[in-house]
Structure 1
Amino acid sequence: MSQQLIDYYKAIENSSAKMLDAAKTEDWEQVVRFEGACAVLIEQLRERAASEQLHPEQRAEKTRIMQRILNNDAQVRYLAEPWLMHCEQTQQGQAQYLH
């Protein structure tokens, strides 16, 4: 049963890697799509983790997977920063136009 928890972590890692690949090519629609997939997987993982536990060796594997996920996330945020700034400036420009 606990292998299924690890499989969820691996699926989240896979989705976060795809999100990073999409960010590297500035395909923001794909980034958002994979972010949504991560959110669904995380919610499913939370539900399962409430009733299942990992074995000690699996906890170490989980830690390694989580480190890679966090690294992917940090890289996506770094790559997305200019795009987010542009979106914010565009929204501010539209708001000024409407007033």
Structure 2
Amino acid sequence: MDKPELDVLQCYHALEELSARMLQAAETDDWDRVAELEGACAVLIEQLRAQAKDVELTPQQRAEKHRVMLAILRHDAQIRALAEPWLDAWENTPPGSRSLSLH
């Protein structure tokens, strides 16, 4: 059986992978895929919250968690930068003339 702290780190690594895939989807303008992957991240985050509350990480594991979190934050910032022009256009469109299509 795996140690709980290894399971927690595996969750963080899975989140990092999902966030990288979200960035790839955003870079190809596949916002449906971004939303799909975001949903998968939400599920994983809930699992992580349940697993991580009673787990004590070693200094090395905390350092790895920190590295992963920074990577996820970088991915998120890049996704937001790609989404901002679309969001700005959407916000500047009068509500009555907004199309339901998000493409």
| TM bucket, shorter chain | 0.7 to 0.9
Identity over aligned pairs, percent: 53
Task: Show the counterpart of 1:32.
Answer: 35
**Which residue identity is paired with 1:76?**
I
The TM-score, its normalising length taken from structure 2, stands at 0.84
Task: Show the counterpart of 2:101.
Answer: none
**Which residue identity is paired with 1:60?**
A
Cα contact 1:15–1:34 (8 A) shared by 2: yes
What is the rounded CA distance, in whole Å, between the counterparts of 2:90 and 2:28 in structure 1? 17
What is the rounded CA distance, in whole Å, between the counterparts of 2:47 and 2:75 in structure 1? 20
Out of 71, 75, 89, the residue aligned to residue 68 of structure 1 is 71
Q: CA deviation at 1:90?
A: 4.4
**SS in structure 1 opposite 2:55?**
coil
Cα contact 1:19–1:31 (8 A) shared by 2: yes
Q: CA deviation at 1:91?
A: 6.0
The TM-score, its normalising length taken from structure 1, stands at 0.87
Select between 55-64 and 86-95 the one with higher mean Cα deviation: 86-95
Q: Whose helix proportion is higher, 1 or 2? A: 1
**Which residue identity is paired with 1:25?**
T
Select between 21-30 and 82-91 the one with higher mean Cα deviation: 82-91
Q: Which runs of 5+ in 2 are unaligned?
A: 99-103
| Residue 83 (str. 1) matches residue 103 (str. 2) | no
Q: Which runs of 5+ in 1 are unaligned?
A: none
CA RMSD after TM alignment: 1.5
Out of 46, 53, 56, the residue aligned to residue 53 of structure 1 is 56
What is the rounded CA distance, in whole Å, between the counterparts of 2:94 and 2:67 in structure 1? 39
